[in-house]
Amino acid sequence: MNRPLSEKSWQYRQLNAQTPGLDALSDALLELVQAGEPVVAGTADLQYSNGLAKFARECPERFVQFGISEQNMVSAAAGMAAVGLKPYVATFASFLALLCCEQIRMDVAYSALPVRLIGHHAGISLGFYGTSHHATEDLAIARSIAGLTVVAPADGAQLASVIAASADYAEPIYIRTQRGRDPVVYQAGKPFVFGKAIKHLGGKDLVIIACGSTVHPALQAAKALNAKGHSVGLLDMATVKPIDSDAILEAATNARMVLTVEEHNVLGGLGGAVAEVIAGEGLPVKLRRHGIHDEYSLIAPPTHLYAHYKLDSAGIEEIAAGLLA
C-alpha cells in the first residue's frame, strides 16, 4: 500500500526528523493499536509532515498512503468505518476541509460514521506556501456540517489525549492541529472530555477564550496583564463543536468583557460560536472577536504572520489591553 517517497515528502522527512512533537499522533494511535482497537491510518503523501511515518513503520499493514488524492482518502475512510474499522486520516487542513467538504458532509457526517479527520498545518502555519495552503475557513466549514464534532488541540499532549478519548466516541470528528512544534501547554496523560472547556484562569475584567495555537500565547498575555493589576481569565475552548455553553455563559456573567482569539477568519469560527451563545442569552457583555479579519492571509514566515495579525503573545496582550483601557 506504500509507494516511493515524492520529492516533497522527502524534504519534509529531512525537515521534521528532529521534531519530537510530530510523533504525538503516531504514538497515540499506536497506544490504541496495543489496546486492541481496530485502528487504521492514512494520509495524502504527507506522512513526514504529520508524523504518521512512525505509525507506518510500526504498523505497515494498518497504514494507507493515498498519494495526492485527498477526496478519495476521505471516502475510503468512510468505507473502512462502515465495516468496523476506526480510521484516522490526515492531510493539510486547507485540503481536508475545503477540497474534501462534500466527501466529509455526505460520506462521513451524513452517514454518521466514526471517521477521525485530522487537518494539520491549520491556519497560517504554512507561511510561505500561501493562500492555497492556509486554512482560515476550516472551522467555519466544519462546525456548519451537522453531526461533525470539531476539536482544536493546543499542543501534542492534548492531541494525544483527544486521540485517546476518540477511541469510543460515536460521532465523526474534525481535529484541527498545527505543525507539531507547538509550545507545551499540557502535561501528558491529562484526560480529554469532548464538549468541555478547560479553565486556566478566572477573570473579572476580561476573559479570553482561545483554541488550538492561540491558547499558549493567550495564556502568556493573560498572565502578563494580571501581573499589571488586571483580572484576566483564560478558557481553552478545545472543542469548538459542541461548544461548552455553560463555560461561556459563566465567563460572560462574571466578567465585563470577553475576547475570543483564533488563528482563523473572525467569521464563522470560534468567535462566531461564542457570539451565538452570548447573543442567545441576551447577556450585556462586551465581546471582541480577534483573528484574521475576513481577508486572504499574507505570505510570510509563520512567526512574522502571527506578529502581523497580533496572534502572538505580545499582539494578544495589546488587543486585550486596549479593551481593558
**β-pairing verdict for 149-151 and 239-241:** antiparallel
Same domain, 145 and 37: yes
Shared-domain flag, residues 213 and 168: no
pLDDT value for 16: 40
CATH for 269: 3.40.50.920
* 207 and 146 belong to one structural domain: no
Q: Give the pLDDT score at 61.
A: 97
- Average pLDDT score over residue span 17-23: 54
In a domain, 111, yes or no: yes
> Does residue 189 lie in a domain region?
no
- 17 has pLDDT over 50: no
Residue at which a domain ends, from 176, 206, 226? 176
Residue 21's pLDDT is 59
Same domain, 27 and 172: yes
Contact predicate 259/320, CB 8 Å? yes
Same domain, 22 and 107: yes
Instruction: Summarize the confidence of residues 190-203 as an average pLDDT.
Output: 97
pLDDT of residue 207: 98
Angle (deg, nearest 10), helices 245-254 and 270-281: 70
CATH number at residue 75: 3.40.50.970
Q: Tell me what pLDDT residue 7 has.
A: 41
Question: Of 108, 143, 176, which residue constitutes the final position of a domain?
Answer: 176
Question: What string of DSSP letters covers 131-176?
Answer: TTT-BSSHHHHHHTSTT-EEE--SSHHHHHHHHHHHTT--S-EEEE
Give the CA distances from residue 50 to residues 191, 254, 264, 276, in Å, rounded to whole numbers and listed in that order.
Answer: 22, 40, 20, 33
Whether pLDDT at 55 is above 90? yes
Residue 185 is assigned to a structural domain of this protein: no
Question: Pick from 176, 211, 244: which residue ends a domain?
Answer: 176
**104 within 8 A of 174, measured Cβ to Cβ:** yes
Quick: pLDDT tens for 80-107.
999 999 999 999 999 999 999 999 999 9
Q: At 197, list the grid cell.
A: 472547556
What pLDDT sits at residue 11?
A: 40
Q: How many domains does the chain have?
A: 2
Exposure on the CB side of residue 190, measured as CA atoms within 13 A: 14
Which residue from 316, 271, 312, 279 is spatially nearest to 125, judged by alpha carbons?
312
In the numeric block, the cell 521534521 is attached to: 16
pLDDT at residue 18 greater than cutoff 80: no
Instruction: For residue 12, name the pLDDT band (cuts at 50, 70, 90).
Output: very low
Q: Which three cell numbers stand for residue 26?
A: 503516531
27 shares its domain with 80 = yes
Q: Give the C-alpha separation, 69 to 138, whole Å.
A: 19
Q: Is there a single domain that holds both residue 208 and residue 270?
A: yes
Same domain, 27 and 128: yes
Burial of 295 per CB tally in 10 Å (0-12, 13-18, 19+): exposed
**14 pLDDT band (50/70/90 cuts)?**
very low
Question: Cell digits for 84?
Answer: 468496523
142 and 48 housed in the same domain: yes
Beta bridge mates, 39: 86
3-class secondary-structure state, position 186: coil
User: What single letter denotes the amino acid at residue 83?
Assistant: V
Q: Are 233 and 202 in a shared domain?
A: yes
Count of Cβ atoms closer than 10 Å to residue 294 Cβ: 10
Confidence category of residue 150, pLDDT binned at 50, 70, 90: very high
| pLDDT tens figures, 254-297 | 999 999 999 999 999 999 999 999 999 989 999 999 999 999 99
* Domain coverage including residue 284: 198-324
- Whether residue 252 is contained in a domain is answered as yes
- Give the H or E element holding residue 241: strand 239-241
Which pTM value belongs to this model? Answer: 0.92
| Domain shared by 172 and 33, yes or no | yes
Query: Do 84 and 204 lie in a common domain?
Result: no
Cα distances (angstroms) measured from residue 284 to each of 157, 256, 280, 291: 36, 9, 11, 22
